[in-house]
Structure formats: structure tokens, C-alpha cells
């Protein structure tokens, strides 16, 4: 990897294919508030995400970008309704493909990343996408006890109740 770029020198867009050829890497820090799609999922977009992007080819010649992201996402626990910080550690290798049909040729364990034929890749959008995928559908603060509740009398009582249609069945079978 080349010398890491400072936050100011991480380009908003870059040519993924040129970065693979040059085997370049970038490091940066981005405020969570600047990631608008992610910010709408958070309790308050406080804090930063630290990320690195490393471009290269594997031993089979498959171009990839290694995405690493560290952040603490402020969420609201759906059990306790309290704010908590969810630690997120992403280390994802993404195989760069030009066409959806190329996905079949990826090495197992790679996530496909469809890159525009021009090679243009939005660096912060890639980081934001990975953080959005890390947000749980139902945020629950680690360590909270599950809320358990019995509904009704349970299935055992249901089996004991007579079937209300049993009388109709008896009428149907009664000779005229």
C-alpha cells in the first residue's frame, strides 16, 4: 500500500481500475453527520468513521478493494428506548466487476462491487453503504434482557376447547 492519504487528500471520486493497477491505498476520517443516508438511521449523527480503502489484485488476478471501517453508531435501543453506541468494525473485501455476469467469476468470500465502465467510484458512498449495512433492523443495546410475555392461555388450552363447528358436522352426518 502506498503512503496513506490525509483526510483532505482522499478524493471524493477516483478511478477504481487505475487504483488497482497502482495498488494504492487511502485512509481517511469522515463525520457521520456528513453521510446523509446513514445519518437518517442514527439517533444523532455524532462522531466520526475512520476508514481505509486498499486496491489490489489477488493471486488469481481478480481486482478488489479492501474496505475497513471503524465507527461507533449512536442508536436507540428498541427494548429500553435508551441511546447507546454500537461499535462497528468492518473488514470487507469487494471484488470489482464491470458487469453483473462477472460476479460468477469472483473468488469465494468476495462481495461484488459493480463499478461504472468509466471506473468512477465514490469513496464516501462506498464507506456509507458499508455502514448502512451494519445498522441492525431492530437496534438492541448489547446486554439487555429479552422481554418475554405470555400471550393468552397458550396452545395447550386451545387444544382443550371444543371445536365450534363440531355441531355442524353432526348435523351433516344426521340421516334425514
Q: Are strands 111-114 and 83-97 parallel, antiparallel or unpaired?
A: parallel
DSSP 101: G
Question: CA-CA distance, 30 to 122, in Å (whole number)?
Answer: 14
Whole-prediction pTM? 0.73
- The arithmetic mean of pLDDT across residues 75-83, rounded, is 90
> Taking residues 58-71, what's their average pLDDT?
93
Residue 149 has a pLDDT of: 53
Write b or e for each residue in 8-31: b if 16 or more Cβ atoms lie within 10 A of its Cβ, otherwise e: eebeeebbbbebbeeebbbbbebe
- CA angle, 135 then 85 then 111, to 5°: 30
| Residue 24 confidence (pLDDT) | 92
Q: What is the pLDDT of residues 31-56, one digit of tens each?
A: 999 999 998 898 888 899 999 999 99
Phi–psi pair at 122, nearest 5 degrees = -85, 115
Per the CB < 8 A criterion, the answer to whether 32 and 45 are in contact is: yes
Q: Which residues contact 79 (CB under 8 A, 6 or more apart)?
A: 140, 141, 144, 146, 147
pLDDT category at 64 given cuts 50, 70, 90 is: very high
Amino acid at each position: 500500500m502506498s503512503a496513506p492519504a490525509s483526510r483532505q487528500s482522499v478524493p471524493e471520486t477516483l478511478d477504481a481500475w487505475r487504483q488497482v493497477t497502482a495498488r494504492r491505498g487511502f485512509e481517511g476520517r469522515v463525520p457521520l453527520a456528513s453521510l446523509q443516508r446513514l445519518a437518517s438511521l442514527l439517533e444523532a449523527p455524532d462522531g466520526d468513521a475512520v476508514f481505509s480503502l486498499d486496491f489490489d489484485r489477488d493471486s488469481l488476478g481478480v481486482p478488489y478493494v479492501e474496505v475497513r471501517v471503524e465507527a461507533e453508531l449512536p442508536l436507540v435501543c428498541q427494548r429500553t428506548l435508551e441511546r447507546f453506541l454500537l461499535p462497528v468494525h468492518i473488514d470487507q473485501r469487494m471484488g470489482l466487476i464491470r458487469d453483473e455476469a462477472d460476479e460468477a467469476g469472483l473468488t469465494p468470500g468476495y462481495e461484488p462491487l459493480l463499478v461504472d465502465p468509466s471506473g468512477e467510484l465514490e469513496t464516501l458512498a462506498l464507506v456509507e453503504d458499508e455502514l448502512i449495512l451494519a445498522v441492525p433492523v431492530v437496534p438492541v443495546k448489547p446486554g439487555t434482557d429479552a422481554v418475554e410475555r405470555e400471550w393468552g392461555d397458550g396452545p395447550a388450552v386451545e387444544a382443550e376447547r371444543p371445536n365450534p363447528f363440531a355441531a355442524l358436522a353432526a348435523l351433516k352426518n344426521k340421516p334425514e
